[in-house]
Amino acid sequence: MGGNPLRLPALLILLLCSPAVAHSKCVLFNFGDSNSDTGGLMAGLGLYLGPPSGRQFFHRPTGRFCDGRLYIDFVCERLKMSYLTPYLESSPGSNFTHGVNFAVAGAATESTAIPFPLSTQVLQFLHFKNRTRELRPQGGRQFWIYNTGPLGCLPQKLALLKKDDSELDPLGCLADLNSAAKAFNAGLSELCDLLRSEFKNATIVYTDVYAIKQDLIANHTKYGFENPLMACCGYGGPPYNYKFRMTCGEPMVTACAEGSRYISWDGVHNTEAANSIIASKILSAKYSRPQIKLKGLCKG
């Protein structure tokens, strides 16, 4: 979303996986923000996210902040499941057979000074640990936890926060913001270790989404992308094509002809093309600790 330039994406995405007894298939409960919101904000608040969102796959707006499918959609496809329905969705066609999506756009951390002040980090960790403990008595035994990505590489952050090139790392991203994200991720990894020691009978998988997304940017030509730090749908042109209050979906804002050539859709969220690769890498388990494939957690 456009919003406050210091508004950061939610840092914790919790995916609870448990077997469905009847068919021995996955039942997923997804917690997150706009990166995995399949229409929750639209269902809950009636927010209409208009064209060109959804143009690549659904050919209509679906409440997704993307030109098509999100990484959670690709995960569902590859597990042969229906797309997750937002928990507030009550319209005909709602399907909660394979779980429910609690992700809502705007589930974010607010910072009035600098990103990740220590107090905010501690509150995030405590909230996450408490939510995990709350799910355990309800039968939650398998948790898939994603860390935060390289926030300093988001076109939105670069356009709004960069003062000069001395702030950039070799990839052209904001070095301090990425350092803060990595520090947060280190703490999250340690917290996962703590939870494993506390919940002996639970499976807790930590997935390094930071490394996945950084690889997309560092090796963008290998994946067929160009302008890895520039939004497809935005305003202002190179280098970032992002302007505050002139975001995707607003009048006078246009989208690139080929979203498949871009990593960033709107300066904050990924394109469907990038989401497809991200989902493949998540499902490969190569970026996970322990290296357990999500499909393996769905068996009996």
Write the pLDDT tens digit of every residue in 242-254. Answer: 999 999 999 899 9
Which residue out of 34, 36, 53, 264 is catalytically annotated? 34
Which residue out of 33, 67, 73, 266 is catalytically annotated? 266
CA distance 280 to 78: 9
CA distance 91 to 68: 21
Q: Which residue has the higher pLDDT, 98 or 222?
A: 222
Q: Which residue has the higher pLDDT, 136 or 158?
A: 158
Which of helix, strand or coil describes residue 254?
Answer: strand
Q: What is the pTM of this model?
A: 0.86
CA 83 to each of CA 36, 116, 142, 149, 283: distance values in angstroms, whole numbers, following the listed order:
11, 33, 20, 23, 16
Question: Using 50, 70 and 90 to split pLDDT, how confident is the model at 126?
Answer: low
| pLDDT tens by residue, 76-87 | 999 888 899 998
Helix (H) / strand (E) element for 69: namely none
Once rounded to an integer, what is the mean pLDDT over residues 138-146? 75
For residue 100, how far is the Cα from the chain centroid?
16
Lowest mean pLDDT among 69-78, 220-229, 290-299: 290-299
Q: Verify whether residue 269 is a known catalytic residue.
A: yes
Q: Verify whether residue 215 is a known catalytic residue.
A: no
231 close to 267: Cβ distance less than 8 angstroms = yes
Residue 230, pLDDT > 60, answer yes
Q: Which residue has the higher pLDDT, 207 or 47?
A: 207
Q: Verify whether residue 34 is a known catalytic residue.
A: yes
Which residue out of 36, 208, 269, 288 is catalytically annotated? 269
What pLDDT does 32 receive? 83
CA distance 39 to 293: 27
Once rounded to an integer, what is the mean pLDDT over residues 100-121? 57
Q: Which two tokens mark 177?
A: 């913001």
